[in-house]
Structure 1
């Protein structure tokens, strides 16, 4: 079972790093997030957090990102999340075709 998981992990890493289709997916997601106002909402929330804490009290962006992430995730439209999952499943299925890991 562990060998299977490692193989799937290797395939997923290959899909992520070598797949030009994934770049298209990324571009599409970024464009859709911009269209729906997500980027503006995140900028406003980031500015709010900075004002709340005081710019002089923020020395590392890691904490700011950690605190902003749940808000950002909650603002991604459900339809876009579903579409992204479908695109990733499709890319994985195409990559698995012809391998012994193909679930079909």
Structure 2
């Protein structure tokens, strides 16, 4: 495990232990719903199913196809807010 991987694991562990990870996930869900991202993803899924046919699409197919689109559609303001909250948490819990 390299230094970066160990750091990510340590941060994730701290976020999980304190319950902050769950709070951030809930905040992210709420912001994505509020900005219409969830509806856009639902429409993308429907489009893929319509193009390929329900019988020919698996959940894995949908995930592979819409994940890049989903990531690209997350508003910069949402990404920025989440990053600021993570940084504030890390600053507060630095050891």
TM class, shorter-length:
0.7 to 0.9
Cα deviation code 1:3-62 (max 9, x no counterpart): x5454234123124223122222111111111111111100010000111111112x311
- Indicate the structure with greater helix content: 2
Query: 1:81 and 1:28 mapped to 2: Cα distance?
Result: 11
Of structures 1 and 2, the larger Rg is shown by: 1
TM-score, scaled relative to structure 1: 0.77
Q: Unaligned regions of 5+ residues in structure 1, if any?
A: 100-104
TM-score (norm 2): 0.84
Structure 1 residue runs of 4 or more that deviate by more than 3 Å after TM superposition = 4-7
For structure 2, list consecutive stretches of 5 or more residues without a partner in the other structure: none
Q: Is the 8 A contact 2:16 2:22 kept in 1?
A: no
The structure, 1 or 2, with the larger RCO (C-alpha pairs under 8 Å, 6+ apart) is: 1
Aligned residues: 94
RMSD (Å), alpha carbons: 1.8
